[in-house]
Amino acid sequence: MAKIEKISPLAPKGFPVMPQIDGVLFATAATGMKYKGRDDLLCAAFPDGATVAGVLTLSRTASAPVDFCRANLATGQKARALLVNAGNSNAFTGKAGDAAMRSTVMTLAENMGCAAEEIYVSSTGVIGEVLSADQINKHLSATVDALSPGGWRDAAGAILTTDTFVKGATRTVLLDGTEVTINGFAKGSGMIAPDMATMLGYIFTDADLSQDVLQSLLKCTADQSFNAITVDSDTSTSDTVLAFATGKSGVGERIRSVDDPLLAAYRAAFLDVMQDLAHQVVRDGEGAHKFIEVRVSGAEDNRAAKVIAMSIANSPLVKTAIAGEDANWGRIVMAVGKAGEAADRDSLEILIGGQKVAAEGMAVPGYDEAACTAHLKGQNIDLSVDVGIGSGTATVWTCDLTHDYISINADYRS
C-alpha cells in the first residue's frame, strides 16, 4: 500500500469498510519503478467477466492506456482484468510506450487465460517516460496467483502518486427488490480539471446491467461529479473512470434505460459514490486547506452556468483570496465577467457563506464583512452567484491555492 506523508487537513476520518463484491478479486505488488517500500501495481480480476463502461480524457495528447481502453470499450466484450501502475503515466511516449503497454497486457492475458481485448489498463505518474514493461511483467505471474476477494484499501493505495490519503466510497441499495453493492476508489490530487473523467477512478458493482445502461449511467453521473471538479484547471493525459458490473446479484438485467424508474434509487446511490470520490479528490488537492463549493444560478442555461462556475473555481485570484481568508468578492465579479457567458451586471448577486455581499451592480450596503471573513476561516467554503439572465444552474467544487501547491509541483520530479 502507499506510504503517505502529511495527510491533507481536509481528509475524511478514514477509509470506509468496503463489503466484498462477488466476482471481484484484487492483488497488488511493489515493482520499485518509482516508489520504494510500497505497492505500486494493482491487478483486479473478474473470473466470470464483468460488463464494463468508461469515461476517458478528451485530451488531444492522451496516453497509450487511454487509447487502448477506448478501443476495448468499443468491442462490447466483457472485462476479465484491470491493470494499473503508479509512478509512470506512459503518456507522450510514442511507439515505444505503446509497445511497452501492450507487452504488459499480453503478459497478463497469458497469465489470466483471456484475450487482450478483455483487459483494461491505466498508468499514472510522470509524463514522457517510457514504461518499463519488464519491471511489471516479472511480477504478473505471482500477482495473478495472489488474487483474492477483499483488499479494497490495499487496491486503492497501490494507485496513488502525490495523493495524501486513500480514497474510497461504498453504498448499498435495493435494485428491483434485491440489495446490491456499489464500491469505488479513485486517485487524484493535482492536474485535476477533468474532461470526461478524473485522474483515475474505478467503480465496482454486483448489479446485472447491460453495457448501454452502465455506460449511460457512468456518463451522466460523471458529468455531475468528476466533471464538476477542478484543482488547478489542468486536464490530465490519463483521465480514466471505469465501471465494472459483475451481475452476481442477479438483478438489473431487465432494465433497458438509465431513466427506467426501477433504476432510480440505484442511480442515486451510484451518483452518491461518484460525488463522494470526486469530493475526496478535491479535498486532497495539492496544498489544499479549504474545500469550496461554487453554485451558479440565473444563467442562460445549465451549460452557461457551468462555464461561469468553472471560471470562478479556476480563478487563481479567487482561490488565493480564499486561501488568505480575504472576502474580496470583487474577484468573483471579475471571474463571472471573463467567463464569456451572458450575465446582467446590474442584477448580479453574490453570496459568501450564505450572506449577500453584492447586488444591483454594487456592494450590499452594510453587509457584515467580518461574518464573511469568519466563514472563510473555516474549511468548507460556500460561494453562490446569480447572474440574472435565465434559469440555468450548476454546482462545481474546487479548493484553495496555497504556497504548498507550488512547492509540491516545483519538486515533483525530484
Enumerate the known binding-site residues: 161, 187, 198, 286, 409, 414
What are the grid coordinates assigned to 67, written together?
487509447
Q: Residue 80: which H helix or E strand, with range? A: strand 79-88
Task: State the Cα torsion 213-270-55-193 to the nearest 10°.
Answer: 150
What are the grid coordinates assigned to 46, written together?
473478474
What are the grid coordinates assigned to 131, written together?
514504461
DSSP symbols for 181-198: EEEEEEE-SSS---SSS-
Measured from the Cβ of residue 324, the count of other Cβ atoms closer than 10 Å reads 13
Among 274, 301, 44, 55, smallest CA distance to 168 is for: 274
- Between CA 278 and CA 271 the distance in angstroms is 10
Is 290 in contact with 323 (CB distance < 8 Å)? yes
**Residue in the block written with cell 449577500:** 356
**Residue in the block written with cell 434509487:** 265
What are the grid coordinates assigned to 226, written together?
468528476
Q: Which residue type is seen at 163?
A: D
Ordered strands of the 392-399 beta sheet: 362-363, 355-359, 349-352, 380-386, 291-299, 392-399
- Between CA 217 and CA 222 the distance in angstroms is 8
What are the grid coordinates assigned to 161, written together?
502518486
| CA neighbours closer than 13 Å in the CB half-sphere of residue 138 | 7
Among 107, 198, 221, 398, the one annotated catalytic: 198
What are the grid coordinates assigned to 113, written together?
487465460
Q: What share of the chain is helix, strand, coil (3-state, %, to 5)?
A: 35, 25, 40
User: Is position 172 annotated as part of the catalytic site?
Assistant: no
Catalytically active residues, by annotation = 198
